[in-house]
A = this chain, B = another copy of it.
Amino acid sequence: MSKEIKPWTTLSSELVFHHRWYKLRRDHVQLPTGQVLDDYFVSVRANVALIFALTADEHVILVRQYKHGIGEILIEVPGGVVDEGETSPLAAAKRELLEETGYVSDEIEPLLEVSDNPTKDTNRIYFFLARNARLVAAQHLDETENIEVLRVPLAGVEAMILGGEIRVSGSIALCLLALRKLAP
């Protein structure tokens, strides 16, 4: 089966909700068929960097914290938003790793650039793999953050995913990609 897929054209855009912590945009769009939709909503979100950090003794650094969207305490890879004006997703990955866990690495490589919800969200997610990560500092958290740092044996990460202990799409995707890269 083959058919031509074409992008839509944005005729106009407006922010219908504009707050420091949330921006919602309404687009007036024209489809390739000529059909016009006057209320296509997208969530304007900052890009995110996620990092799979492996220590020299083959432990992976994970974080455990309460996430209010879903209302649960979850285990994920470290990461966070690329700040406005920040030069690179790599810089954000390093900063978030250090702030959330106290770890640094001089051997970080990009793995993939993805999105979490390309239908509703504008942002991109950058995956990184860090080797020889080492603890150099204490956590440096925002006032509203409370994060437990976990050191998990590399050999145990896949079982955590299969058992539902790591249950966030981006963290699962990055962990499985990193595992494949580390033991192809």
Residues in chain A within 8 A of chain B (CB atoms): 1-3, 5-8, 16-17, 19, 21-22, 24, 27, 29, 31-33, 35, 37, 39-43, 45, 64-74, 112-122, 124-125, 143-144, 146-149, 158, 161-162, 164, 167-170, 172-173, 176-177, 180
Contact, CB under 8 Å: B24 / A24: yes
> Closest B-chain residue to A29, C-beta based?
B68
CB distance from A163 to the nearest CB of B (A): 9
Contact, CB under 8 Å: A148 / B69: no
Given contacts A119-B68, A169-B170, A172-B173, contact A39 B17 (CB under 8 A): no
Interface of A is mostly: mixed
Contact, CB under 8 Å: A124 / B70: yes
Q: In the complex, which of the residues B33, B39, B69, B148 contacts A119, with contact meaning CB atoms closer than 8 Å?
A: B69
> Closest B-chain residue to A17, C-beta based?
B17
Q: Enumerate the 5 nearest inter-chain pairs by beta-carbon distance, A residue then B residue, closest first.
A: A67-B118, A70-B118, A22-B41, A169-B169, A172-B173
Given contacts A1-B149, A17-B24, A173-B173, contact A168 B115 (CB under 8 A): yes
Given contacts A115-B70, A169-B173, A170-B169, contact A64 B148 (CB under 8 A): no
A158 proximity list for chain B (CB < 8 A): 180
Known A3-B146, A5-B64; further 14 A-B contacts with Cβ < 8 A: A6-B146, A7-B73, A16-B17, A27-B68, A42-B68, A43-B120, A69-B119, A114-B169, A117-B117, A158-B180, A162-B177, A169-B173, A170-B173, A176-B177
